[in-house]
Amino acid sequence: MSSERRQLSPPRPIKPQRDLRTMVTDHLQGRSLDLLDEAASRRRAAFEDGRWEEYRREIRDHVSGSFGDMPFGHQGGPLQTRAVSTHDLTCCHVENVLFDSFPGWQVNASVFVPRGDGPFPAVVIPVGHSGKQFDNYQIPARAFASAGYLAVLFDPPGQASEKQTGNDHFVDGVRTFLTGYSANRYFVLDALRCIDYLETRDDADLSRGVGMTGVSGGGHTTLFSTLFDDRITCQGPSCCINRMADHPVGDLYSPCPEAKWSGRIRAGVDELDVLLAGIPVPSLYMAGRRDEVFQIDWSRALAGEAAEYFRLANAESHFAFFEDDAGHAYTLAQVRQFIAWMNRWILHEPDRPVPELDVSDFPMMPYEQLKCHPTPEQNMFTLNRSIAESQTAMRPARRTTEELGTLVGHVVGEAAGAPTQVTHWQQSSPFQVWSQTSREVLATVQDLEIPATWLEPIPEFHQPSSPVVLFIDDRGRRAALESWAPPARLSRMLQRDPAVIYPSMLVPDLPGWGETTPALVPYAMAGWGSMDRLTAYLSCTLGDGILAIRTRCAAALVRHLIDERGVAANRIILVGHGLGGAVALMAAAVAGLSLGAVVSWSGLLSFQCLTQATEYDWPACAFLPDVLPHFDLPDLVRNLPMPVAVFNPLDAQHRAIESSQAEAILAQLPPSVSLLTDCTDTDVISRLQDLMANVTERPLAVSDSLCGYEAPVLRSPTQKPRSEGRLKSG
């Protein structure tokens, strides 16, 4: 290609150092694996140095802090027990009862009472991500009763249980990210309140504690319950433990969000750590040789590590591993193993015979005979909503600029005195597009590469006082610019009037948006999976939500424009569209500068609305971990030390909000805030042009010339554009 033809050719995307399609998942996975490796080293050192009790306390403290208030035992409220029905079986009789976990949140317990006089030792069986009517649960419960153990079986929130309304793991569980408390608290407290209920029964002998066992999600509930309640004498988690480096981090699986609470990986709480933090509680870990989820090689490796750590804690006899010839299931073989384990640790009768068990002895009960019909009024959604309301009520309406920056910085991971920076910037040669020039840019922030389009007016229309618009769009830069989309119109590239304002514009694809949208991984094909959920959940466990990462990147681009491009802070207009609006507001807060203006366009009006609406239409990445204890978007709108504009704010269901409702939510807006509801793109463009005019009229804060600006050889500005389209000057 001749040099003349190359000069006329539009700029091509700058070749990145990494594949942009896998960059975000690689980044999150790599950081997670590094932290898990560090946690493994700390764990090893703690046990080898005899500091395992200190290590155990740290794990328990982190879990307790992440779960929040857990009222059980002496701190638990009234159970409000209500009998529902009874049914006689050959080996036992079944009592269906309801009682409170959190106030008004009911446990639907089926109690399998052995034949005989009692009192009987007891076992609690949390159901996994399923329902108690299935064979993995009702058959073991009946088998335990046949061996003389009173068994309590209860459903989890959501899944195939009776507790559906407001308890969807992926819809309602992720809401808890905003308030900062793990959704796991709702599973675990139910199990602990089962023990409270057992203490009220004359036919239950809790003098030597209780056993707890469950498969899959029920095994997880068992493990975490053991960290809270010393009434649990022994535990039997089944088909539920592995190194997170194998699953779900290593295989990029999207499990339910209750296992992915904020900062879990950052705190070094692997699955093995949850098991070890239960020491010295005797623990029987059971696994299926043909388990397609928790692969047997993973379980064997973890069991070997666990046995070694129990030995180092002088509790070698308190751990055992049973490898079942089964899949992802709780079989009668496992029941027999756990009966023997309870005989040993609860009854102190290790030689007590364990009966042979045959599945034909336990015909399935009809589902109707296990139903308790819990009331749906209280659920994960309503309980988390109440927490969000309390957090909002505790926040002051006014914040100083410094307070606001510190709070937002804490949530998005922007450490005071260590601002995130652009570490590498590449740009192509300019290409004239009528009255603008266009460049391809590739910026690097914290090892994340950000492709961008950089528009600058040609020399005839460039003014030192012209604004620079940083436009962040959650649809990506192509959607923002292609086919005369609003940001493209804002550039005025088709005009030639020297009297109008021609802005410079930087339009990036922040991590996970546009060209950096993560490529599909296999587990995202499942009905509960998606790349949005994968990145949102994994980043949450890092304590670094993907929205926080985007905010730091946006703030770094602002600083780069000021420090390296010579743009005055008060010439920068930071505009965010969709979730880019939340990013723009937060980036403006952590940048610590008085920008020309910040704009949220068709953006989420508040994070709290995601906790209030029964349905929502925003992606999982919108649920910024830990935000509501510290601030919400209306706090930023009211308190940012710069002009703020909110155009066409949207509610939880992605619908335009009426003016009166928006004003009520934003509350007591200062004169520096503009609010325009239910508006068209043309309305917004006009308002943005007004903002550009206001910015241009202000005195320069610092030199506003673009450092390194190249005046390219350009085509004549009188050359006719291909399109006859025009946008009138604002």
Other CB atoms within 10 Å distance of the CB of residue 9: 11
Task: Classify 283 as helix, strand or coil.
Answer: strand
Q: How does strand 82-88 pair with strand 92-100?
A: antiparallel
Could you tell me the two tokens for 17?
Answer: 């150092």
Q: What is the rounded distance in angstroms from the CA atom of residue 620 to the CA atom of residue 532? A: 6
Amino acid 450 reads: I
Task: Classify 673 as helix, strand or coil.
Answer: strand
Could you tell me the two tokens for 337?
Answer: 């193993």
- Find out whether 286 and 337 touch, Cβ atoms under 8 Å: yes
Q: Residue 416: is its pLDDT beyond 80?
A: no
CA 273, chain centre distance (Å): 21
pLDDT digits over 364-393, tens only? 999 999 999 999 999 999 999 999 999 999
Q: What is the rounded distance in angstroms from the CA atom of residue 91 to the CA atom of residue 408? A: 60
Largest CA distance in the chain: 101
Residue 591's closest CA among 566, 607, 570?
Answer: 570
Average pLDDT over residues 62-86: 98
Instruction: Give the pLDDT band (50/70/90) at residue 5.
Output: low
The pLDDT score that the predictor gives to residue 7 is 58
The pLDDT score that the predictor gives to residue 699 is 78
Q: Residue 717: is its pLDDT beyond 80?
A: no
Phi-psi region of 492 (alpha: psi -120 to 50; beta: other; left: phi over 0): left
- Find out whether 674 and 643 touch, Cβ atoms under 8 Å: yes
Q: What is the DSSP letter of 448?
A: E
pLDDT digits over 576-633, tens only? 999 999 999 999 999 989 999 999 999 999 999 999 999 999 999 999 999 999 999 9
Residue 346's closest CA among 155, 144, 200?
Answer: 144
**What's the Cα-to-Cα distance from 427 to each of 258, 439, 443, 453, 504, rounded to whole Å?**
43, 6, 9, 9, 15
Residues in Cβ contact with 13 at an 8 Å cutoff, skipping those fewer than 6 apart: 440, 442, 451, 515
- Give the orientation angle of helix 52-67 with respect to helix 217-228, to 10 degrees: 110
Q: Residue 322: is its pLDDT beyond 90?
A: yes
Could you tell me the two tokens for 504?
Answer: 């410079």
Q: What is the rounded distance in angstroms from the CA atom of residue 459 to the CA atom of residue 479? A: 27
E strand spans, 267-318: 283-288
Residue 406's closest CA among 664, 656, 635, 177?
Answer: 635
Instruction: Give the pLDDT band (50/70/90) at residue 6.
Output: low
The pLDDT score that the predictor gives to residue 701 is 59
Average pLDDT over residues 14-27: 98
Residues in Cβ contact with 501 at an 8 Å cutoff, skipping those fewer than 6 apart: 463, 466, 467, 492, 689, 692, 693, 696, 730
Q: What is the rounded distance in angstroms from the CA atom of residue 163 to the CA atom of residue 172? A: 13
Query: Which stretches of 605-648 are DSSP H helices?
Result: 609-612, 633-639
pLDDT digits over 156-167, tens only? 999 889 999 999
Q: What is the rounded distance in angstroms from the CA atom of residue 216 to the CA atom of residue 232? A: 19
The pLDDT score that the predictor gives to residue 700 is 67
Q: What is the DSSP letter of 117?
A: S
What pTM value is reported for the model? 0.94
Considering the domain 407-425+463-508+539-697 in this protein, what is its CATH number? 3.40.50.1820
Q: What is the rounded distance in angstroms from the CA atom of residue 388 to the CA atom of residue 380? A: 12
Residue with tokens 């991500």: 129
The pLDDT score that the predictor gives to residue 254 is 84
Q: Residue 706: is its pLDDT beyond 60?
A: no
Task: Classify 404 as helix, strand or coil.
Answer: helix
Residue 623 phi, psi dihedral angles, 5° rounding: -90, 80
CA 109, chain centre distance (Å): 30
E strand spans, 281-354: 283-288, 319-324
Q: What is the rounded distance in angstroms from the CA atom of residue 352 to the CA atom of residue 500? A: 92
Q: Residue 10: is its pLDDT beyond 50?
A: yes
pLDDT digits over 598-607, tens only? 999 999 999 9
pLDDT digits over 277-303, tens only? 999 999 999 999 999 989 999 999 999
pLDDT digits over 206-242, tens only? 999 999 999 999 999 999 999 999 999 999 999 999 9
**Arithmetic mean of pLDDT over the chain:** 94
**What's the Cα-to-Cα distance from 252 to each of 26, 146, 173, 471, 614, rounded to whole Å?**
10, 42, 19, 31, 29
Q: What is the rounded distance in angstroms from the CA atom of residue 517 to the CA atom of residue 23? A: 9
Residue 569's closest CA among 581, 582, 579, 560?
Answer: 560
Q: Residue 696: is its pLDDT beyond 50?
A: yes
Return residue ranges of the chain for CATH 3.40.50.1820. Answer: 68-386, 407-425+463-508+539-697
Q: Residue 703: is its pLDDT beyond 80?
A: no
Residue 205 phi, psi dihedral angles, 5° rounding: -100, 105
Instruction: Give the pLDDT band (50/70/90) at residue 729.
Output: very low
The pLDDT score that the predictor gives to residue 397 is 85
Amino acid 479 reads: A
Residue 727 phi, psi dihedral angles, 5° rounding: -120, 120
Q: What is the rounded distance in angstroms from the CA atom of residue 347 to the CA atom of residue 359? A: 25
The pLDDT score that the predictor gives to residue 293 is 87
Residue 326's closest CA among 362, 303, 294?
Answer: 294
Other CB atoms within 10 Å distance of the CB of residue 441: 20
Amino acid 181 reads: Y
**What's the Cα-to-Cα distance from 300 to each of 184, 242, 259, 310, 513, rounded to whole Å?**
26, 9, 22, 15, 40
- Find out whether 63 and 277 touch, Cβ atoms under 8 Å: yes
- What proportion of the chain, given as a percentage, has pLDDT over 90? 90
pLDDT digits over 329-362, tens only? 999 999 999 999 999 999 999 999 999 999 999 9
Could you tell me the two tokens for 96?
Answer: 């269906």
Q: What is the rounded distance in angstroms from the CA atom of residue 576 to the CA atom of residue 599? A: 6
Query: Which stretches of 163-277 are DSSP H helices?
Result: 176-179, 184-198, 217-228, 271-276
- Find out whether 149 and 343 touch, Cβ atoms under 8 Å: no
- Find out whether 413 and 552 touch, Cβ atoms under 8 Å: yes
Amino acid 249 reads: V
68-386 homologous superfamily:
Alpha/Beta hydrolase fold, catalytic domain (3.40.50.1820)
Burial label for 485, CB within 10 Å (0-12, 13-18, 19+), is middle
DSSP letters along 523-563, please?
GGGSTT--HHHHHHHHHHHTT--HHHHHHHHHHHHHHHHHH
Q: What is the rounded distance in angstroms from the CA atom of residue 431 to the CA atom of residue 502? A: 16
Average pLDDT over residues 453-470: 95
pLDDT digits over 83-132, tens only? 999 999 999 999 999 999 999 999 999 999 999 999 999 999 999 999 99
CA 664, chain centre distance (Å): 28
- Find out whether 294 and 236 touch, Cβ atoms under 8 Å: no
Other CB atoms within 10 Å distance of the CB of residue 526: 10
Residues in Cβ contact with 594 at an 8 Å cutoff, skipping those fewer than 6 apart: 569, 570, 641, 642
